[in-house]
Amino acid sequence: MSEDYRKMWEDLGLDLEAHDQLLAVIPQMYGDVYMSQKNRPEGMSYLDFVMSEIHGLRVKELLDLKAAGGKVVGAFCLYVPEEVVLAGGAACVGICGGADWGAAEAEKVLPRNLCPLIKSFMGFKLTKVCPYFESSDMIVGETTCDGKKKTYEVLGEYTNVHVMHTPQTKDESSSKLWLEEVKKFKETMEELTGNTIDAAALAQGVATVNAKRAALRRMNEARKASPVPISGKDALLIEQVAFYDDPVRFTQMINKVSDELEQRIADGTGVAPADAPRILISGCPMAIPNWKMHHIVESTGAVIVGEEACIGHRYFRDMVDESPSDLEGELTAVADRYMKLDCACFTPNKERLENIMQLVKDYNVDGVIHYALQFCDPFTVEYNSVERTLKEAGVPVLKIETDYSMEDAGQLSTRVEAFMEQIKEMQGAIV
Amino acid sequence: MFVGIDIGSRSIKVVALNGEGIADYNIVDTGFNPHERSLELIKPYNAQKIVATGYGRHFAREDFADSVITEIKAHGVGSHYLFSNCRTIIDIGGQDSKVIALDERGRVADFQMNDRCAAGTGKFLEIMARTLGFSLEAFGSESLKADKAVKVNSMCTVFAESEVVSLLAKKEDPRKIALGLHQSIVERVSSMLHRVGITDDIVLSGGVGRNPCIKKLFEQKLGRTLYRYENPEIAGALGAALTAREQS
């Protein structure tokens, strides 16, 4: 990234010294994890460029939008209706929460034994190193889990936070509550931006986000092929960047990647041999730059064919119905789409088990790695039913509970390698 | 000769196989230079093929080993060779503990491994033995002399050590404290055992397999006999050597 951005970062109020340290780490990490891969699709050069400009060009675009009177909304969760944010003429960005950064600062206001994602975003805020955080005019939180819900109270002391009340069951009263929350959020967006969100504006927002989700679906469709034309690491990166890139440009670029992937399938080109174990990762979101698990798994020669997670299938599986033409109908369609999400914060959550089994079948999965962040109660507890469902179907499953630090990398590698041995021996038995 | 080498955190084990069975084996401390130690260990054997396992397996592959397998597979293969009816393995090594379930043909069907710290492993026992003034060899047999246990609450090696020191200051019998420490390890590993499930014979593998108190406490808790090879620490190296023979 060029020096030209220093003034921009300084004006944003970043701690330049700490920010320099952060920016020195990322290229090294990216080089080790990404540039070491062989036979990557050429279209990934766009993602390389986005990563090289991670705190540069995109931030500049957001600041240009603000200078022109637009607003920036930051979010951490799939429940924040991006369609409504775009309808207000604002930009929606996912806030950094995937690195072991600022933990000591975060622990001044948060307990030690807390989800690393929550600690990470609080650390980024308190150490003033995330330009997306600092550019945001409003942060939208949600009541998905206890850790986040209570942390938004603390975060509210530092920045403008709007919390959406997400339900935890899927009955009629919950749907009603959620529709009310979506309407309230629309009003909040109108107040923030000064723009009226009418039927046409919301239809546009819905169309843009649906197109983005469709592009991600198409890219993932290619991962069903054998040999797989794209690595799990590259696919994860695309799914991560989806949360903060310009949605229209991102959609175009990812469709170009998919053109290439489809050509690769026709040519029989893959990133791993056709007999490489096909792994599904299921569980907690992996926020950028959390590539730890994918790197460990793919370093053993296996290939990840899907992320059953918020940064993954949960983000693009369901579309908003575009048929309503009146505002009330559109808002209901938006709310309905979000009620289909199968996050572990719901009870009961049988849909998730069904969706996992569907992915196992569609993507010809040899084994599932259940990935949970430490102290994530919803996902660590729900593991029991995931394990039972998979074992009953004869699908090998490995449970991993970890954080962003690398101190357990050696042990994780051993467990993942042993899991691959187990899968290969089972495959050997079938042949 | 087919050679298996298990480069562990505390010791390096080597097993040499010929067509008939175990021709030779050796165990040395890992020391400060595991690489050099490993090379010395394999030198005497005119190895046709070498398979490495243990935490040092990857550096071995870069240098002298033909292939690598994980400790989990190695202990599975080794234990199944020694005890053909073995379907469950408890392996407590220097810095990790694992429970492995095998299918009827001896292949790994499932496993559990401790997460990140050394609680409930050989290293934990080693430090506790030293704190209580026992030799590692006598630690298990001395514990068995206690008529009842003093509970040690902490499983963290560092906190448990200070807890033990304060129990000693209260003039508690070191043997009773020792029994309490053994119990806490058995409790911890048992939870992994229940997750994996028990089928047929259970084999106690790894260096901690030598400890008679651990064996007895497991047997009391589970109500069944645990099988143990005379040199339990070489089961992993044996599994690697068997894999070398099979791959040839």
Q: Can you read off the two tokens belonging to residue A320?
A: 């908003």
pLDDT the model gives residue A1 = 55
The pLDDT tens digits for B27-61 are 999 999 999 999 999 999 999 999 999 999 999 99
Sign of torsion over alpha carbons B189, B194, B197, B199: positive
Q: CATH no. for residue B35?
A: 3.30.420.40
Q: What's the mean pLDDT when you consider all of chain A? A: 96
The pLDDT assigned to A431 comes to 40
Tell me: pLDDT of A119 over 50: yes
- Mark the ranges of chain B whose per-residue pLDDT is less than 70: 115-116, 118
B10 and B105 part of one domain: no
Residues B57 and B21 both lie in one domain: yes
Specify the number of domains making up chain B: 2
pLDDT band at A304 (very low <50, low <70, confident <90, very high): very high
Over 80: is that where the pLDDT of A60 sits?
yes
pLDDT digit string, tens, across residues A390-430:
999 999 999 999 999 988 898 899 999 999 999 998 877 54
Q: What is the 3-state secondary structure (H, E, C) of chain A?
A: CCHHHHHHHHHHCCCHHHHHHHHHHHHHHHHHHHHCCCCCCCCHHHHHHHHHCCCCHHHHHHHHHHHCCCCEEEECCCCCCHHHHHHCCCEEEECCCCCCCCHHHHHHHCCCCCCHHHHHHHHHHHHCCCHHHHHCCEEEEECCCHHHHHHHHHHCCCCCEEEECCCCCCCHHHHHHHHHHHHHHHHHHHHHHCCCCCHHHHHHHHHHHHHHHHHHHHHHHHHHCCCCCCCHHHHHHHHHHCCCCCHHHHHHHHHHHHHHHHHHHHHCCCCCCCCCCEEEEEECCCCCCCCHHHHHHHCCCCEEEEEECCCCHHHHCCCCCCCCCCHHHHHHHHHHHHHCCCCCCCCCCHHHHHHHHHHHHHCCCCEEEEEEECCCHHHHHHHHHHHHHHHHCCCCEEEEEECCCCCCHHHHHHHHHHHHHHHHHHHHHHC
Which chain A residues are closer than 8 Å to B52 by Cβ? none
Report the share of chain A in percent with pLDDT over 90.
94
- Give, in order, the Cα–Cα distances in Å from B114 to each of A58, A314, A416, B126: 42, 31, 13, 18
Q: Which residue has the tokens 């575009």?
A: A322
Q: What is the ipTM of this complex?
A: 0.89
Residues B63 and B94 in one domain: no
A161-164: strand order across its sheet? A91-94, A72-75, A138-142, A161-164
Asked if residue B123 and residue B151 are part of one domain, the reply reads: yes
> Are residues B149 and B37 both part of a single domain?
no
Give the closest of A410, A418, A429 to B111, CB-based.
A418
Contact A425 B111 (CB under 8 A): no
Same domain for B174 and B241, yes or no, is no
pLDDT of residue B96: 82
pLDDT score of B156: 84
Asked if B16 and B79 sit in the same domain, the reply is yes
CA distance A423 to A32: 27
Residues B79, B92, single domain; the answer is no
Given this model, what pLDDT does residue B58 score?
A: 92
DSSP-based three-state secondary structure for B77: helix
Residue of B nearest to A422 (CA): B108
pTM of the model: 0.93
Which percentage of chain A shows pLDDT scores above 70?
99
Structure tokens at B55: 């935490």
Q: Are B67 and B168 contained in the same domain? A: no
Minimum Cα–Cα distance from B54: chain A residue: A414
Identify all chain A residues contacting B71, using CB atoms and an 8 Å cutoff.
414, 418
Provide mean pLDDT across the span A63-72: 97
Suggest the residue from A392, A417, A420, A431 to mutate for an interface test with chain B (most B CBs closer than 10 A). Answer: A417
Q: Which of A292, A421, A426 to mutate to test the interface with B (most CBs of B within 10 A)?
A: A421
Mean pLDDT (whole number) for A22-35: 93
Give the per-residue pLDDT at A3.
60
Say yes or no: B124 and B141 in one domain.
yes
Q: Is B109–A422 a contact, with Cβ atoms under 8 angstroms apart?
A: yes
What pLDDT shows up at residue A87?
98
Closest to A421 (Cβ–Cβ): which among B55, B69, B110?
B69
In this prediction, residue A429 carries a pLDDT of 55
- Chain-chain contact of A407 with B73 (C-beta, under 8 angstroms): no
The pLDDT of residue A168 is above 70: yes
- Residue B93 and residue B181 share a domain: yes
CA distance B60 to B152: 39
Regarding whether B223 and B124 lie in a shared domain, the answer is yes
Count of A-B CB contacts under 8 Å: 42
Taking CA–CA distances from A402, the nearest residue in chain B reads B115
Identify the domain containing residue B13 by its residue range.
1-83+233-248
Chain A residues with CB under 8 Å of B69 CB are 421
**pLDDT band per the 50, 70, 90 thresholds, residue A2:** low
Mean pLDDT of A295-306: 97
What is the arithmetic mean of pLDDT over A72-95? 96
Residue A138 and residue A156 in contact, taking contact as beta carbons nearer than 8 Å: no
CB contact under 8 A, B107 and A415: no
